[in-house]
Chain A
């Protein structure tokens, strides 16, 4: 009787461990990590308005939504994802965005199991909140690899 309880207990713990071992990593790899593209800002200071266009290969991914990132909390954010291959994001903050971090998160669905696509930023324009004057920025492209589901985030760096 005691021996049977011991075996059942062991089997139960073993089952839980194996389940967690299999399910959690799958959720991590197939879900959140690969389904969001973060657009990072670096060294932002008094950014009152920001226009971003992210160009991607619509055969590889499908953009489903755009959300404000942590750096854009308190900003007005809108987007247009109706044209496949291009996500347009507009951000306005009268107090000015400052610092380094994620300004927008782009959710997407993978459409291909192999291949990769560049996540290129185009027509990026930033203006200062105080003077309404253009602020210089450089952009770096990101990448999505369909096989590994790895996202390399595109970024915008202010001088």
Chain B
């Protein structure tokens, strides 16, 4: 009787332990899969309205290296919140701020943390104000206020403002005799059913190798025609409608112009309808391909010529290291004469601001 009771009690305790351990293991989430249930409403990864874009600092003239945007803010605005990067030399500071009326205030953090106050000009093409260095821990002012002005980079070209749909030919810098891939972006698209447009370039500087559809196009029909230089004609059509922001096309150019030359990328004859056949107004912003000077081409490891060091540049270096891409020594960050996986690692560090 005693043996029976003891076994029964031991069994109950064991069962209790097993249950507790099972519950614990499940609660500890060993696969690291926190439940995504109840997530917020999805938002576009590429937001941005008023201040979104590139802003050139008035302090650029103090920088001796040429050809690259060493003092440029890259901003993304969503509602009143603004985030972005302030690129300085090979690194960049992180920007966080708010827009209230015509006042843009916030902080950039990284090398030297600073608070800033900027007043946005009525035409939205410049911001003027001041900044002051602050402690990285206590955020208390250190030193004096300094005046600064930012001008929208390529005002009138390469940027779009407002809330309607906008078609943008991005700007790129490329080496002589190289290839460069230029995206054509459509921002704030809403149920776009069809679209035709023309991009004109300087055939003395660029030659089209190929044209790809961008990821925004999705399953819609996409037909380019680049057989009649210096124009590329585009046609898009889809019954589901194109929505959101992103690239609609990529044009790969062969650079045939000499260093120092450039080609405008001009968008024209944009005819757009929504899925009901109603005409849609789309604003345009033109871009430029600048053929880099020999001295300016190797200063930062920016292979796609967008003026920024990003994960894409690290990816290109990694592919070059295994001969999946033609080697470009501007990505040879450690200067050992070749592009290796180590260069990819170093470029990735730059891309995350280390």
Q: In the complex the two chains form, is A69's CB within 8 Å of B32's CB? A: yes
Within 8 A of B (CB), among A67-117: 69-70, 76, 78-80, 82-83, 85-86, 88-94, 101-102, 105
Which of A6, A118, A123 is the one whose CB lies under 8 Å from B83?
A123
Residues of A within 8 A of B341 (CB): 76
Check: A157 CB closer than 8 A to any chain B CB. Answer: yes
Q: Check B35 against A152 for contact (C-beta < 8 Å).
A: yes
Mask of B36-49 contacts with A, CB within 8 angstroms, 1/0: 11111111110000
* Structural contact, A24 and B20, CB atoms closer than 8 A: yes
The answer to whether B36 touches A17, judged by C-beta atoms less than 8 angstroms apart, is: no
Give the contacting residue for B315; candidates A20, A123, A132, A155; CB below 8 A: A132
B45 A17 Cβ-Cβ under 8 A: no
Most buried by B among A9, A16, A80, A105: A80
Q: Report Cα–Cα, A97/B11, bound state, in Å.
A: 48
The chain A residue with its CB closest to the CB of B244 is: A136
Main secondary structure of the interface of A (DSSP, over half): strand
Verify A124–B352 contact, CB threshold 8 A.
no
Q: Which of B10, B247, B352 contacts A80 (CB 8 A)?
A: B352
A21 to chain B: which residues have CB within 8 Å? Answer: 16, 20
- Known contacts A49-B312, A94-B315; is A24 also within 8 Å of B24 by CB? yes
* Minimum C-beta distance from B136 to chain A (A): 9
Is the pair A16, B17 in contact by a Cβ cutoff of 8 Å?
A: yes
* B246 nearest in chain A by CB position: A136
- Which of A16, A33, A89, A105 is most buried by chain B, counting CB atoms within 10 A of its CB? A33
Interface residues of B in 293-326 (CB under 8 A from A): 304, 310-312, 314-316, 318-319, 322, 324
- List chain B residues, Cβ under 8 A from A6: 2, 6
CB distance from B331 to the nearest CB of A (A): 13
Asked whether any CB of chain A lies closer than 8 Å to the CB of B63, the reply is: no
Shortest CB-to-CB span from A143 to chain B, Å, is 8
Interface residues of B in 150-185 (CB under 8 A from A): 181, 183
Nearest CB in chain A to that of B37: its residue: A152
Quick check: A102 and B109 within 8 Å, CB to CB? no
Given contacts A27-B24, A152-B39, contact A2 B314 (CB under 8 A): no
The complex places the Cα of A39 from the Cα of B250 at a distance, in Å, of 29
Chain A, 1-33, contact with B by CB distance < 8 Å: what is the 0/1 string? 010001001100110110011001101110111
- Chain A residue at smallest Cβ distance from B23: A25
Tell me the B68-90 residues at the A interface (CB within 8 Å): 76, 83-84
Cβ < 8 Å to B, chain A residues 114-144: 118, 121-125, 127, 129, 131-143
Contacts of A138 in B (CB 8 A): 42-45
A124 neighbours in B (Cβ, 8 Å)? 45
User: Contacts of A102 on B, CB cut-off 8 Å?
Assistant: 31-33
A132 CA to B311 CA, complexed, in Å: 11
B338 within 8 Å of A by Cβ? no
A90 touches B348 (CB 8 A): yes
Q: How far is the CA of A78 from the CA of B183 in the complex (A)?
A: 27
In the complex, A137→B44 CA distance in Å? Answer: 7
Task: State the total of A-B contacts with C-beta under 8 angstroms.
Answer: 202
CB neighbours (8 Å) of B39 from chain A are 140-142, 152, 154-155
Interface size class of B (residues with CB under 8 A): 35 or more
Instruction: Please give the distance in Å from A140's CB to the nearest CB on chain B.
Output: 4
- CB pair B33–A38 under 8 Å, yes or no, is yes
Cβ–Cβ contact B24 & A86, under 8 A: no
- Let me know if B24 and A25 touch, CB within 8 A: yes
B214 CB–A CB distance under 8 Å = yes
Given contacts A127-B311, A136-B246, contact A80 B13 (CB under 8 A): no
**Among B17, B84, B181, B247, which residue has its beta carbon within 8 angstroms of that of A20?**
B17
Indicate if B94 sits at the interface (CB-CB under 8 A). yes
Q: In the complex, A127→B314 CA distance in Å?
A: 11
Q: Which residues of A contact B28 (CB under 8 A)?
A: 27-28, 31-33
B223 CB to closest chain A CB, in angstroms? 18
Which B residues are CB-close (under 8 A) to A27? 24, 28
- The interface residues of chain A lying within 8 Å CB-to-CB of B352 are 51, 78-80, 88-90
Contact of A38 among B32, B38, B316, B318 (CB under 8 A): B32
CB within 8 Å for A94 and B319 given contacts A17-B13, A28-B27: yes
The chain A residue sitting closest to B43, CB to CB, is A139
Residue pair B315, A139 in contact (C-beta under 8 Å)? no
Give, as a whole number of angstroms, the nearest-CB distance from A35 to chain B: 10
In the complex, whether A151 has a CB less than 8 A from a CB of chain B is: yes
Contact residues in A for B13 (Cβ distance below 8 Å)? 13-14, 16-17
How far apart are the CA atoms of A154 and B181 in the complex, in Å? Answer: 32
12 additional A-B pairs beyond A55-B96, A78-B351, beta carbons within 8 Å, are A13-B9, A32-B30, A33-B27, A49-B312, A88-B94, A92-B314, A129-B315, A131-B250, A132-B181, A136-B246, A139-B45, A143-B40
